[in-house]
Chain A
Amino acid sequence: MKKQILTLLAVGSIASSAFAETMTFDFKDPKGVNNATFTLDAPLEAITGSANGVSGTVKFDPAHPDKTTGKIVVDATTLHVPNPMMKEHLHGDQWLNTAKFGEITFEAKSLKNVKTKDPTTTAEATGMLTIKGVSKEMTVPIKLTYLKDKLGLRVPNMKGHLLVIRADFKIDRADFGINPGAPADKVAETIELKLSIAGASPTR
């Protein structure tokens, strides 16, 4: 009898993990904590800025993190650098032309090299990065941290889970038509991008 109960429990736990729910995490953050930062070298000092207009959704199943897909959107008009003239150039035609191309997006299609050590998963996400209307397939190292039942700590009276995504990668600005005429000895070709964002998945 005891053996039968144990067998039933084992089968039950396997069944529940096999059918673990895929959750949709919303990354829209009215508090502005979610942010993307960028850095590129220049002779006088490195140019550093950030954007906090982050949104998007990611589908994540903690039992199958390799099946994660989603799209993250950064509102390019929220990009900020501390020098006003530099900011004007950044948003202008030659650089990001944010009046015409208001969004920077990354749409992840698949994950590989997935390694999980609860609650964190590291992987390489392959997807399309779109900047200034130019799309390029890229593979980007990411780190996912699943915070089960922690939504209530962030938003009072709400139940649910949080998913934190961190990414750190580099792009060449010429690949996306970002001021390709600017000489590399004046402004570096390579831009380092960092993403630190948290999404929420409320439960009923």
Chain B
Amino acid sequence: MKKQAIGKGLRILAIIVALAFVGTWFALGANTGWTKTSVPVTFVDEITGIESQTWEDKFVPGLEFLGAGLLSAAVLGGVSLFFRKS
């Protein structure tokens, strides 16, 4: 009984982790590239006409963030199978 409860708990945790990572990835831009911790800010110098770029700190999760989250959820789900009713 206790074993089944642990298994159920792990499956619920796996679902929460998966939803949390997918939700965060989606909410922060659904970036299909690599995770970024800064984004370019472009401006034009009005005297010279030079287009320049600075970087602004911003967390933008990418596919490896999403992949890591879903992998973690899959591991939790896989471990939960060892706690099934035998």
Contacts and interface: CB of A to CB of B under 8 A. Distances in A.
Interface of A: 32-35, 37, 44-45, 48, 50, 52, 80, 82-84, 86, 145, 147, 150, 153-154, 162, 164, 196-198
B55 A164 contact: no
A80 B50 contact: no
Contacts of B53: 35, 37, 50, 52
Contacts of A34: 50, 52
A82 B52 contact: no
Contacts of B45: 33, 198
Given A50-B53, A80-B55, A83-B35, A147 B48 contact: yes
A52 B40 contact: no
A201 B64 CA distance: 48
A197 B51 CA distance: 9
Nearest to B53: A50
B52 A32 contact: yes
Contacts of A48: 40
A52 B53 CA distance: 8
B86 interface: no
